[in-house]
Amino acid sequence: MRTIDAHQHFWMYDSVRDSWIGENMEVLKRNFLPGDIAPVLTTNGVDGCVAVQANETETETSFLLDLAGKNDFIKGVVGWTDLEAPDLETKLSTYRGFSKLKGFRHMLQSEARRDSMLQPAFVNGIRLLQEYGFTYDLIILPDQLPFAIKLAEKFPEMRFVIDHLAKPAISSGETSAWETGLRKLSELKNVYCKISGLVTQANWHSWKKEDLYPCLDVAVETFGTDRLMYGSDWPVCLLAAEYSEVKGITDEYFSSFSEDERLGFYSLNAAEFYSIPSV
């Protein structure tokens, strides 16, 4: 079965630029490049990945596109650009020339104004992304789900994907508001969801797969297997688990599902969403 990891990161570590990597994240304070993950993907039966931005600069987009150009297993790139820039349309016209550039992302989870995604300039940026055929990754927290619903409702033809299931608070168990929001969001058929990043929402040092299963249950009940996709969130996942452990969670959870359902989750849904050929 072909597998696409729909959520990975690469970086050349810089302590100033990467200040989000805190003192309790020593394992992440080094370079993470394609040569580090390629053998891990092969060992775990993964054929390709989507590289997602980790820094909010257009240099980051160029960095990821360069890596994708040199490494065939990087099937797509989710970059960054300023959606509120006055010259956004000019930039998108240029970016459309890069076949592996599939979409964009902004760290909405960190915005002081929690509904920043609904401000006119940002909404206009999403309109232009749709016009130019790009996707949008929503990296948000549970309190932002109501705003994500309003945004997705404005653009029923735009392809959105929720990263990391909108980060349910697994470690505290306070997931009721998250579940309510996710269920409502799933009613919008233009929205997909990544099962990724869950081990770092649990207790990093004492998580068990059973801690994560209730969230997987909600994801399957809401989005079904035709709008979910697998993502490792490597190397961030290393804060709590090795790559094989992360993939092992979904391998075991979906082991009783049909071959078609597993094929959708592990490759076809990501290929369709990100327009990845030959999967």
Give Cβ neighbours of residue 107 (< 8 Å, ≥ 6 apart). 56, 139
Two structure tokens written together for 76? 């797509």
Residue 187's φ and ψ, nearest 5 degrees, are: -70, -20
* Helices 243-253 & 209-223 angle (0-180, nearest 10): 50
Query: Which amino acid would we find at residue 77?
Result: V
Cα distance between residue 81 and residue 267, in whole Å: 27
Alpha helices in 144-237 (DSSP H): 145-154, 176-185, 209-223
State what percent of residues in the chain have pLDDT above 90: 98
The SS3 call for residue 228 is strand
The SS3 call for residue 207 is coil
Mean predicted lDDT score pLDDT of the chain:
97
pLDDT digits (tens, 9 = 90+) for 70-87: 999 999 999 999 999 999
Confidence label for 249 from pLDDT (cuts 50, 70 and 90): very high
Q: Is the pLDDT of residue 1 over 80?
A: no
